[in-house]
Amino acid sequence: MMSLNQRVLLSATLVLLVFIGGITFTLDRAFYDSARIGVKDRLFAKLLMLMGDAEVEDGELDVPVNQLDVEFEHVNSHTYAFIIGPANTIIWRSISSLNKSIPAIAPLGQGEKIFEQILLNDEPHFIYRYGIAWETSSGGYPLTFNVITDTTLLDAQIERYREDLWGWLGVMAVVLLAAQMLVLRWGLLPLRKVSVELAAIESGRQESLKGIYPRELKLLTDSINSLITHEHKQQKRYRNGLADLAHSLKTPLAILQGAIHGEDEEVIRHKTIQEQIDRMDNTIQYQLRRAATAGSSPGMGLILLRPMIDRIINTVTKAYRHKHPDITVNIDNSIRLRIDEGDLMELLGNLIDNAFKWCRYSIHLSAGYQGNQVEIQIRDDGPGIPPHEIARILERGARADQSTSGHGIGLAIVRDIMQVYGGELLIENHPVGGLSVILHFERSK
């Protein structure tokens, strides 16, 4: 049978391995989902930039090549784009798509968005599609913008992550097992001490357990000591009983000896012998009864805020051609932010998109310096949000109105970006109606 130390160590090792396997699967799944969302957000940002660069004049689509994203300009790029026009024909494609396969897909209706994974030449790709109806003098001009990327970068990212994950978890497992063995050895030290003392008692080197033990073992050691004491007393009692018995039998035996060799009459001799036999029997019974008696980054460049705002508004306006809100922009041309351009595009794009989605008649954007901070405010005249819902909608996947289309992660992305840059995000209902989103950034020097 396994020793107690081996049994506990084996059990703890199995539990640790199951735990590490479970946490590895969970972290791997979470990272994959996060990386997939990152791909989606990146494709959406590129799609918005492409929409902002595109123009339709006299029924012709024009996309200035010198304004395109750098990834669209290289043949060997992992990302490419194309635009489907009327009659389901490809009316524009990026340079990076010249050696790529274009999937046969149907155009989308106004405002439709689809992000999915597809197979091209038996290789997985991600595609983000956005359908709009471009307003021209002759009416609506249907366009479907498509941005595709292969999974090369994603796969490499996941592979590096898994190598790091398994490497660090392997190191952690070894460290935890070593620590576990040391803790187990320290924890079972009193038991080993008991074992050593019991061996010493068995060999006669000591008579009882003399160590100081934890309270969990004290009852056991006290019981063992009591048992040893009882056994010693019992042995002593037997020895004493035998000695007493021997002493008590001497006299009757002597009398019997004398009776056998004496000259008394047969009747007297017989009587004497019987009396001594009864006496010896009583003595033996008495001595037997008596013997048995027990008792625990500064190098980042500055981004002008106003051109970025104008660019996003121009893009989002095209996506919401059915709305004609009064847009007021009160932002000085000198305001700059020290932030990554893509992050700013993602941040403001989500907020302005939400303002267009929920507004009734007007949208107001303003920005200015307030001491050591830059304050940006985006306000709409929509229905607003109940105060008790504000905290909930910042969670990924949560939407204030479940009947309105959306992915429910826009405000959560805004929150995450603000946290990365040490900014402050405030969401409040405006006194005159609608929702007001206020961003505070540290003023760049």
- What domain range includes position 324? 302-442
Give the model's confidence band at 376: pLDDT under 50 very low, under 70 low, under 90 confident, else very high.
Answer: very high
Burial 110-136 (b: 16+ CB within 10 A, else e): eeebebeeeeeeeeebbbbbbbbbbee
Give the model's confidence band at 440: pLDDT under 50 very low, under 70 low, under 90 confident, else very high.
Answer: very high
The secondary structure of residue 421, as a DSSP letter, is: T
CATH number of the domain that residue 109 is part of:
3.30.450
**Rounded mean pLDDT, 211-226:** 80
pLDDT confidence of residue 407 = 36
The radius of gyration of the chain from alpha carbons, rounded to an integer in Å, stands at 46
pLDDT confidence of residue 331 = 93
Domain count across the chain: 3
Q: Is residue 111 domain-shared with residue 223, that is, in the same domain?
A: no
pLDDT confidence of residue 263 = 65
CATH number of the domain that residue 398 is part of:
3.30.565.10
pLDDT confidence of residue 21 = 84
pLDDT confidence of residue 162 = 86
Domain edge (last residue) among 233, 268, 292: 292
CB contact at 8 A, 342 and 303 = no
pLDDT confidence of residue 366 = 95
Q: Is residue 151 domain-shared with residue 43, that is, in the same domain?
A: yes
In a domain, 207, yes or no: no
In a domain, 333, yes or no: yes
Q: Is residue 319 domain-shared with residue 415, that is, in the same domain?
A: yes
Which residue's entry shows tokens 């902002």? Answer: 52
Question: 60-64, 125-129, 359-363: which range is least confident on average?
Answer: 60-64
Position with higher pLDDT, 248 vs 387: 387
Residue 119 Cα distances to 122, 123, 125, 150, 151, angstroms: 5, 5, 6, 10, 11
Q: Is residue 268 domain-shared with residue 312, that is, in the same domain?
A: no
**Rounded mean pLDDT, 46-68:** 79
In a domain, 182, yes or no: no
Q: Is residue 141 domain-shared with residue 69, that is, in the same domain?
A: yes
* Closest residue by Cα to residue 334 from 210, 444, 234, 213: 444
* Closest residue by Cα to residue 380 from 325, 426, 421: 325
For residue 99, give both structure tokens: 């050696």
Burial 303-313 (b: 16+ CB within 10 A, else e): bebbebbebbb
Total residue count of the chain as it appears in this document: 445
- CA distance linking residue 91 with residue 138, whole number of Å: 18
Residue 410 has pLDDT above 70, yes or no: no
In a domain, 165, yes or no: no
Domain edge (last residue) among 137, 157, 177: 157
- CA distance linking residue 217 with residue 235, whole number of Å: 27
Residue 294 has pLDDT above 50, yes or no: no
pLDDT digits (tens, 9 = 90+) for 111-154: 899 999 888 888 899 999 999 888 877 777 888 999 999 888 88
Domain edge (last residue) among 129, 157, 185: 157
- CA distance linking residue 431 with residue 284, whole number of Å: 109
Percent of the chain with pLDDT over 90: 15
pLDDT confidence of residue 342 = 79
**Rounded mean pLDDT, 407-435:** 80
* Closest residue by Cα to residue 276 from 243, 293, 252, 305: 252
CB-count burial class (<10 Å; 0-12, 13-18, 19+) for 378: buried
For residue 30, give both structure tokens: 């979470």
Count of beta carbons in the 10 Å neighbourhood of residue 366: 15
pLDDT digits (tens, 9 = 90+) for 307-354: 999 999 988 888 787 888 999 999 999 899 988 887 888 889 889 988
Q: Is residue 353 domain-shared with residue 406, that is, in the same domain?
A: yes
Query: What's the mean per-residue pLDDT of the chain?
Result: 81
Q: Is residue 151 domain-shared with residue 12, that is, in the same domain?
A: yes
Residue 198 has pLDDT above 70, yes or no: yes
In a domain, 173, yes or no: no
Q: Is residue 25 domain-shared with residue 139, that is, in the same domain?
A: yes
In a domain, 162, yes or no: no
In a domain, 35, yes or no: yes
Q: Is residue 135 domain-shared with residue 21, that is, in the same domain?
A: yes
Q: Is residue 227 domain-shared with residue 329, that is, in the same domain?
A: no
Position with higher pLDDT, 189 vs 159: 159
Which residue's entry shows tokens 């498509």? Answer: 146
Q: Is residue 105 domain-shared with residue 239, that is, in the same domain?
A: no
In a domain, 187, yes or no: no
pLDDT confidence of residue 240 = 61
- CA distance linking residue 227 with residue 80, whole number of Å: 85
Q: Is residue 126 domain-shared with residue 27, that is, in the same domain?
A: yes
Residue 210 has pLDDT above 70, yes or no: yes
